[in-house]
Structure 1
Amino acid sequence: MLSDRIRAMSAPHWLTLFAGIAAAWGALYLMAVPAELRQFGAVYGAEFWASLCVVTPDAAGLARMTLMWVLMSGAMMAPTVLPALATYEELGQTGAVTSMGRLLGGYMAVWLGFSVMAALMQLALFQAGLLDPLGQSGVDWLSALLLAGAGLYQFSALKDACLDKCRSPMMFFLSHWDEGAWRNGVRLGLVCLGCCWALMLLAFVGGVMNLAFMGLATAIMVFEKLPDLGRYITRPLGGLLIAASALVGFGLI
């Protein structure tokens, strides 16, 4: 029952997980660039951001960007996987805490890999002059391409297949139970990546350290994975993203 699941989530390991999610959001808040500084950057250009050393095209800059993406992945993706973690714990019975730790470790290992790839992509686009130092697209065609790609992906068979597994975690785990917690975590991470990678890359449109974008994207991804509500979100969202792509591409917004 729902009440039993809620009571189970008051156990110390759940409270530790919730504290970790809150800490990731807190770190992102401290690292985020205030709106006022964004406005100053738009007025004064590259010299303003260079003076603040927001991003540098070197190993130190790549390390900072990777850290940003790791924090974003933890803060944004951990809430979306909570129902799956609860289901796994219910199935696990003995040794559930240790097993769930391995499951979460495998899951986050996938998102760590994504974070490294996203940081490399951000650095490459920045060096090409397509992103500003905040990780936001500086050219309309790139924004339109990212929006269109994410919108079209909402209609893909791969997206549907991944969402089906995320919406039915019990069937997913029972299909691979004998593989162990770590491998199940990696599988779950790959499925979740298949659901969310295109939406995560829209950070290059909304701004990598834009808390408003991160909050909205997290809410969308959480609701999209819900068994009942999610089915009414995926395709309408795809249509909205494609429409936004057209508006950006034609310079209307």
Structure 2
Amino acid sequence: MPHLLRSTLWLGFFGLILAAWWMLAVASLDMGLDLLGRPGGIAEAMRRMDPRMDMQMPMAEFWPLASMWALMMAAMMLPTLVPTLRAYEDLMVSANGTRAGWAGVVAGYFGVWLVAALGLAGLQLALLFGGMIDMLGIATSRWFAVALLLAVGLFQFTRAKEVCHGVCHAPAMYFLGHWRTGFAGGLRMGSGLGGFCVGCCWGFMALGFAGGVMNLAWMGLATLFMVLEKLPQIGHVVTRPMGFALILGAGVVAGWPIISGG
């Protein structure tokens, strides 16, 4: 029975991730977008539309945006939780952990990212009506994209990134220092870990505004990198190289020829 419960929980966990990716892919197709989140046909006309001319467009309303960001959090951030859940399982016997606690960690972690999704939806609307991005969340100026790439790249070298990544990279140490039993205890620990994870990974969410928040290719690459960042074996060696890559990317984008007022 314990093995059946473990298998059921893990299958449900991965099923949630797959469902989120599937729903995002369907939404992207329904909007007429390609893999890079670029529009065609009707979607192109929507992209060029001034949002102030039609306040009923779903991408200009808070709750549809919040729902989309919540799906993105499930698709992108839940995979990064796998090493943390494995660390919890390693402590279950020696520290009196339970499957309820395991589920609590998932709920607490995801709950924090759901709150982050609300904030990101509000930020997207502010950027949209401020003219910084278009209806599909694509930067309207290359200089805005440059600023995002540069800011996230530089953040990779900061003390804040080091502290937050340290917790995410070694969740067992966090568990040992904050151990609580049962679902409530797992919820509390998961919330704490989620807070550090937001501090560690916020930049990769913000980068969605550089190339479009419905860019599935970017989402996949960002998810892969964030998973690698949290792996005990290599997580500590990929953070700064990514910072250099993003700064270099900012330079490349800044050097693009101006085509249409960007």
TM over 0.5: yes
Find the counterpart in structure 1 of residue 133 from structure 2.
131
TM-score (norm 1): 0.87
Cα separation, 2, equivalents of 1:26 and 1:153: 31
Q: Identity percentage over the alignment?
A: 38
**Does structure 2 retain, via aligned residues, the 8 Å contact 1:147–1:245?**
yes
Residue identity opposite 2:204 in structure 1: L
Equivalent of 2:115, from 113, 116, 135? Answer: 113
Find the counterpart in structure 1 of residue 77 from structure 2.
77
> Which segment is superposed worse, 173-182 or 231-240?
173-182
Cα separation, 2, equivalents of 1:121 and 1:26: 25
Output one character per residue of 1:187-243: Cα deviation in whole Å (capped at 9) or x when no partner.
110111111001111011121111111101100111111122222311111111111
Q: How does 1:149-164 map to 2 (within 5 A)?
A: 149-164=151-166
Q: Structure 1 pair 160/56, CA: closer, same or farther in 2 (3 Å)?
A: closer
Equivalent of 1:166, from 165, 168, 188? Answer: 168
Root-mean-square deviation (Å): 2.6
Find the counterpart in structure 1 of residue 240 from structure 2.
235
**Does structure 2 retain, via aligned residues, the 8 Å contact 1:92–1:99?**
no
* Structure 1 position 98 matched with structure 2 position 100: yes
Cα separation, 2, equivalents of 1:37 and 1:239: 27
Q: Structure 1 pair 252/225, CA: closer, same or farther in 2 (3 Å)?
A: farther
Cα separation, 1, equivalents of 2:248 and 2:204: 15
Cα separation, 1, equivalents of 2:98 and 2:206: 34
**Which structure 1 segments of 5+ residues have no match?**
1-6
In the alignment of these two chains, the number of paired residues is 243
**Which structure 2 segments of 5+ residues have no match?**
none
Residue identity opposite 1:11 in structure 2: S
Q: What secondary structure is seen at the aligned counterpart in 2 of 1:11?
A: helix
TM-score (norm 2): 0.84
**Does structure 1 retain, via aligned residues, the 8 Å contact 2:128–2:137?**
yes
**Deviation of the 1:161 alpha carbon:** 1.4
Q: Structure 1 pair 71/43, CA: closer, same or farther in 2 (3 Å)?
A: closer
Output one character per residue of 1:4-48: Cα deviation in whole Å (capped at 9) or x when no partner.
xxx899611111111111101111111114229614455886249
> Which segment is superposed worse, 228-237 or 89-98?
89-98
Output one character per residue of 1:49-73: Cα deviation in whole Å (capped at 9) or x when no partner.
989x75453xxx1111100110001
**Does structure 1 retain, via aligned residues, the 8 Å contact 2:38–2:215?**
no
Find the counterpart in structure 2 of residue 11 from structure 1.
7
Find the counterpart in structure 1 of residue 227 from structure 2.
222
Cα separation, 1, equivalents of 2:121 and 2:172: 33
Cα separation, 2, equivalents of 1:44 and 1:72: 22
Q: Structure 1 pair 8/142, CA: closer, same or farther in 2 (3 Å)?
A: farther
**Deviation of the 1:98 alpha carbon:** 1.1
Q: What secondary structure is seen at the aligned counterpart in 1 of 2:145?
A: helix
Q: Structure 1 pair 240/63, CA: closer, same or farther in 2 (3 Å)?
A: same
Find the counterpart in structure 1 of residue 88 from structure 2.
88
**Does structure 1 retain, via aligned residues, the 8 Å contact 2:59–2:136?**
no
Cα separation, 1, equivalents of 2:98 and 2:127: 43
Cα separation, 1, equivalents of 2:214 and 2:236: 29
Cα separation, 2, equivalents of 1:78 and 1:55: 25
Output one character per residue of 1:74-120: Cα deviation in whole Å (capped at 9) or x when no partner.
11000001110121133134562211111111111110111001000
* Structure 1 position 24 matched with structure 2 position 20: yes
Cα separation, 1, equivalents of 2:255 and 2:38: 28
Q: Structure 1 pair 139/100, CA: closer, same or farther in 2 (3 Å)?
A: same
